[in-house]
């Protein structure tokens, strides 16, 4: 209690009550928005359901293994909820999302006054990141642990020692057990470690000691706890992306020099060919996306980094800005290469934007920009010509982004919630565009007033896009489809043994896996053209039941149950 009083200062009871009110209010609002939404992310939610709820943690040959061992362990608790497992998963998701937002609130208190930090917390709790609270995915849990990692890094940056860097490895290792994609963040953090250690003498000794402590604690948590949760298969730190698969293939491709830059031949050309050939297009696209959503914040953190280098002064706000700049640049490059790798593997992502892999950075970079704008010293020490030089390219990118470029992309809610929330509504995109231009102009000519312009921009950018993306999900998946109804019916009427003997026929993978999701079963699936009649001699000998979704029928079979858009058959041979 003493720590709370000292941290909140005067009128701490009012402040604590206001914090609680925002926590409860945003939680109730978000849960009400997501509680009735059905699975929406193709087969991803079904895969995570299989790994977390239907597969033994120590199974060394699971049907799917993406290294999400801590997520699987925590979300296996939804087995206690029976038919309400999806609602229980949403409660867990919401708790982790609120934990992420509260972590950023704690960080914000270091740089801006309480009421500003509280307002920022509210915007994060209503931003597009909360869309993940409706899904059976590890993203919400991932965001929470990445937030703890950021908190540990900032603490260590203020009090550098190898012991503190070792503590950074603990939440980072936990994050990697939620999603192996944390390894991308780990590399960005490693770069920051090497740069921040320049202040310590002798450099090489301290850099090696700090890096060794970080790596050692990371591996201890990732491998040790991973082994306890999942057995020997967890020893592969890269998960499904280990050297025997994707990483090995990528390195092998580099060694063999198989890269090509011909765009027409990128799909299926191999991981290196895709990564190299698609890089210019994708880096341009992601530059426009982050400029449209984070333009003002990017200008602010770049100015802070330049200020620190020029004045040779390093304060906490400088450290936060430099860390976020490194992290954002590295993640954008990593995801651009990852997109090319997927395309080279045969899945066409040429016009798609996989922003979801660094979604967590949008509120984090926004916070860093806000901290810089609230620091009057940095802006007062920055020459006007330098501000204009930094602002001009961002202003240009924003102009291109907001004048029709996004219409050339394939924007999917599952790939890019922030971007999808931006472009779906004309009022939202126009408001963000106008406020972004206005804030950049204020920063260029009246820098001390920029914080007030940003105070208008941030809620529109975060809450506005968050509301729009939730509205899109409700319109898309609020009502039960034929696949949802078919899955619920099969779950009620078939025993576990009978589900093992069931084949699903569907017109799309989405419909098939939605039904499998509600059946809570790793069910065989066949994708057919609409109007198809499936011959009984094509059915495997161990299949006794067929669930046909859409305009599909069985050649022979007894109809057990049916509804609008689906039929459950018992095979007659």
Tally of domains within the chain? 3
- Domain of 84? 7-243
Biggest alpha carbon–alpha carbon distance for the chain: 83
The answer to the question of residue 21 being in a domain is yes
Same domain, 474 and 515: no
Q: Provide the residue count of the chain.
A: 573
**Rounded Cα–Cα distance for residues 452 and 117 (Å):** 14
CA-closest candidate to residue 134, choices 101, 92, 179: 92
The answer to the question of residue 359 being in a domain is yes
| DSSP H helices in 494-547 | 496-500, 509-519
Contact between 210 and 153 under an 8 Å Cβ cutoff? The reply is no
Same domain, 494 and 456: no
Contact between 415 and 355 under an 8 Å Cβ cutoff? The reply is yes
**Rounded Cα–Cα distance for residues 520 and 76 (Å):** 12
Same domain, 120 and 50: yes
The answer to the question of residue 556 being in a domain is yes
Same domain, 21 and 119: yes
The answer to the question of residue 248 being in a domain is no
The answer to the question of residue 133 being in a domain is yes
Q: b vs e for 187-223, b when ≥16 Cβ sit within 10 Å of the residue's Cβ?
A: ebbbebbeebbeeeeeeeebbebbbebbbebbeebbb
Same domain, 182 and 261: no
Contact between 363 and 129 under an 8 Å Cβ cutoff? The reply is yes
571 DSSP 8-state letter: -
Same domain, 210 and 105: yes
Any residues with CB less than 8 A from the CB of 298 and at least 6 apart, and which?
A: 290, 291, 325, 328, 365, 369, 394
DSSP secondary structure letters along 134-156: GSSSSHHHHHHHHHHHHHHHHHH
Same domain, 173 and 322: no
CA-closest candidate to residue 568, choices 552, 304, 310: 552
Same domain, 210 and 306: no
Last residue of a domain, one of 449, 478, 507: 478
Q: Tens-digit pLDDT profile for the chain (573 aa)? A: 566 666 677 787 888 899 999 999 999 999 999 999 998 876 788 889 989 998 888 888 888 888 899 999 999 999 999 889 999 999 999 999 999 999 999 999 999 999 999 999 999 999 999 989 999 999 999 999 999 999 999 999 989 999 999 999 999 999 999 999 899 999 999 999 999 988 788 989 999 999 999 999 999 999 999 999 988 888 887 765 554 444 444 444 433 334 444 455 777 778 888 888 889 989 999 999 999 999 999 999 999 999 999 988 889 999 999 999 999 999 999 999 988 888 888 777 888 888 888 999 999 999 999 999 999 899 888 999 999 999 999 999 999 998 878 777 777 777 778 887 888 888 888 999 999 999 999 999 999 999 999 999 999 999 999 889 888 888 888 899 999 999 999 999 999 999 999 999 999 988 999 999 999 888 899 999 999 999 988 889 899 999 999 999 998 888 999 999 999 999 887
The answer to the question of residue 120 being in a domain is yes
Any residues with CB less than 8 A from the CB of 189 and at least 6 apart, and which?
A: 149, 153, 168, 172, 214, 327
The answer to the question of residue 110 being in a domain is yes
The answer to the question of residue 500 being in a domain is yes
Q: b vs e for 427-437, b when ≥16 Cβ sit within 10 Å of the residue's Cβ?
A: ebbebbbebbb
Same domain, 86 and 140: yes
- Provide the edge-to-edge strand list for the sheet that holds 558-563: 524-527, 502-506, 545-549, 566-570, 558-563
Last residue of a domain, one of 478, 509, 535: 478
Same domain, 457 and 490: no
Last residue of a domain, one of 185, 211, 243: 243
Does the reported pTM lie above 0.85?
yes
Same domain, 20 and 108: yes
Same domain, 404 and 509: no
């Amino acid at each position: 209690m003493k720590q709370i009083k000292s941290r909140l200062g005067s009128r701490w009871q009012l402040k604590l009550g206001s914090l609680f009110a925002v926590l409860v209010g945003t939680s109730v609002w978000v849960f009400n928005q997501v509680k009735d939404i059905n699975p929406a992310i193709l087969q991803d939610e079904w895969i995570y359901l299989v790994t977390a709820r239907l597969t033994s943690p120590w199974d060394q040959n699971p049907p799917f293994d993406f290294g999400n061992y801590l997520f699987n362990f925590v979300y296996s608790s939804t087995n206690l909820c029976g038919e309400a497992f999806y609602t229980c998963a949403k409660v867990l998701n919401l708790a982790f999302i609120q934990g992420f937002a509260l972590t950023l609130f704690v960080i914000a208190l270091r740089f801006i006054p309480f009421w500003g930090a509280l307002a920022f917390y509210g915007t994060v709790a209503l931003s597009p990141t909360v869309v993940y609270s409706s899904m059976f995915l590890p993203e919400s849990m991932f965001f929470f642990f990445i937030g703890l990692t950021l908190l540990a890094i900032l603490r260590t940056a203020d009090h550098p020692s190898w012991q503190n860097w070792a503590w950074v490895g603990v939440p980072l290792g936990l994050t990697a057990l939620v999603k192996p994609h944390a390894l991308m963040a780990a590399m960005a953090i490693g770069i920051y470690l090497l740069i921040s250690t320049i202040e310590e003498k002798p450099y090489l000794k301290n850099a090696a000691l700090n890096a060794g402590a970080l790596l050692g604690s990371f591996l201890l948590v990732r491998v040790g706890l991973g082994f306890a949760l999942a057995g020997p298969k967890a020893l592969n730190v890269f998960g499904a992306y280990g050297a025997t698969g994707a990483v090995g293939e990528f390195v092998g491709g580099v060694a063999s020099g198989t890269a090509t830059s011909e765009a027409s031949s990128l799909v299926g050309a191999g991981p290196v060919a895709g990564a190299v050939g698609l890089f210019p297009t994708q880096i341009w696209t992601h530059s426009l996306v982050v400029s449209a959503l984070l333009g003002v914040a990017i200008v602010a953190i770049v100015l802070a980094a330049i200020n620190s280098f020029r004045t040779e002064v390093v304060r906490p706000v400088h450290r936060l800005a430099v860390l976020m700049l490194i992290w954002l640049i590295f993640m954008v490059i990593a995801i651009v290469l990852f997109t090319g790798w997927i395309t080279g593997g045969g899945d066409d992502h040429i016009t798609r934007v996989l922003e979801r892999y660094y979604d967590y950075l949008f509120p984090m970079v926004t916070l860093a920009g806000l901290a810089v704008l609230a620091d009057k010293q940095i802006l007062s020490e920055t020459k006007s010509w330098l501000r204009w030089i930094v602002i001009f390219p961002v202003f240009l990118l924003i102009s291109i982004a907001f004048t029709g470029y996004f219409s050339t992309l394939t924007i999917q809610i599952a790939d890019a919630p922030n971007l999808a929330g931006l472009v779906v509504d004309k009022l939202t995109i126009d408001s963000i565009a106008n406020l972004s231009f206005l804030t950049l102009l204020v920063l260029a000519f009246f820098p001390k007033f920029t914080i007030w312009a940003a105070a208008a921009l941030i809620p529109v950018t975060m809450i506005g896009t968050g509301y729009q993306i939730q509205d899109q999900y409700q319109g898309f998946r609020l009502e039960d489809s034929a696949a949802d109804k078919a899955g619920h019916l099969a779950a009620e009427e078939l025993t576990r043994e009978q589900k093992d003997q069931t084949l699903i026929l569907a017109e799309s993978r989405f419909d098939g896996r939605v039904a499998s999701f509600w059946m809570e079963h790793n069910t065989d699936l066949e994708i057919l053209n609409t109007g198809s009649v499936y011959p009984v001699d094509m059915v495997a000998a161990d299949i006794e039941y067929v669930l046909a979704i859409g305009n599909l029928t069985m050649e022979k079979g007894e109809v057990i149950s049916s509804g609008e858009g689906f039929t459950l058959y018992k095979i007659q041979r």
